[in-house]
Amino acid sequence: MKRLLLSIHDVGPRFEGEVDRLLDRLSLHAAPDTLAMLVVPNHWGAHPLLPGSPFATRLRRWAEAGVSMFAHGWFHKDMATHDDAIARFKARHMTAGEGEFLGLDRVTAARRMAEGRDLIEQVTGVAVTGFVAPAWLYGAPAREALGQSGFALAEDHMRVWHPPSGRILARGPVITWASRSRARIASSLLAARLLPPVLRHAPVARVAVHPGDAHVPVLLESIDRVVRRLARTHRPARYGELLAG
């Protein structure tokens, strides 16, 4: 059967309440051991994931229950100056200043990837499943660093791949929602209506939710509809299954 990959982004102490609500929502449709969490080690430099803290204990319990853990940047904040016009466009229009790995040099990107992986594995006691850049945005140096990082999985808006080899494991748009303005809410609701029929025949469908979704009832309702619809044709699955073919 075709696979459905479900993920919660921006997991960390900054959004503990929102993560709880989203986890409860997705758990209505899928077992916890098929879900993925994308963990931010220190959101915007103000909300560090501290070993031994109450949230770290909860993260370990989720990992022990089978939730797949991804490293999701380090700060989740873009602090780079973008000289390239395309990068400036992406930084301005594809995210609210959170494309952390869009403008990093290779050495800095590699260091943050490694430190994020080490911290999350220390906290959870399990190996991370992969790496996903904040806002799914990677500059060329970050992609180079990722290929040498040892992560088994990575993804962007349109694909999931194996960084060491570059092998594409799944193709197709991820369904996600935006909550920071009325216009973005409306556009994401439209996409959430249009994409499930397109993905019905795809071998892999992906759905990603974010903390901001938890505060917008119409988005939560849309998430339920999308997951219910895709679950008719796709089996909730772990990201790691893609590595088996």
pLDDT at residue 87 is higher than 90: no
Handedness of CA 194, 31, 63, 53 (dihedral sign): positive
Res. 180 pLDDT band, cuts 50 70 90: confident
Lowest mean pLDDT among 82-91, 152-161, 173-182, 190-199: 82-91
Cα separation of 181 and 179, whole Å? Answer: 6
CA proximity to 9, closest of 48, 60, 43, 34: 43
**What total number of domains does the chain contain?**
1
Res. 47 pLDDT band, cuts 50 70 90: very high
* Residues shown for the chain: 245
- Radius of gyration in angstroms for the set of CA atoms belonging to the chain, rounded to a whole number: 17
Mean pLDDT calculated for residue range 119-146: 97
Res. 212 pLDDT band, cuts 50 70 90: very high
**Parallel, antiparallel or unpaired: strands 42-43 and 47-48:** antiparallel
Range(s) of the domain holding residue 231: 2-244
- Output the domain CATH number for residue 181: 3.20.20.370
- At position 207, the amino acid (one-letter code) is V
And the tokens for 178?
């935006």
pLDDT at residue 135 is higher than 90: yes
Average pLDDT score over the chain: 92
Mean pLDDT calculated for residue range 147-157: 97
And the tokens for 239?
């990201």
And the tokens for 197?
């029929």
Cα separation of 152 and 104, whole Å? Answer: 21
Check: CB of residue 210 under 8 Å from CB of residue 10: yes
Please state, in angstroms and as integers, the Cα–Cα distance from residue 79 to each residue in 99, 105, 184, following that order.
9, 12, 23
Element of type H or E holding 85: helix 85-93
pLDDT for 194 = 97
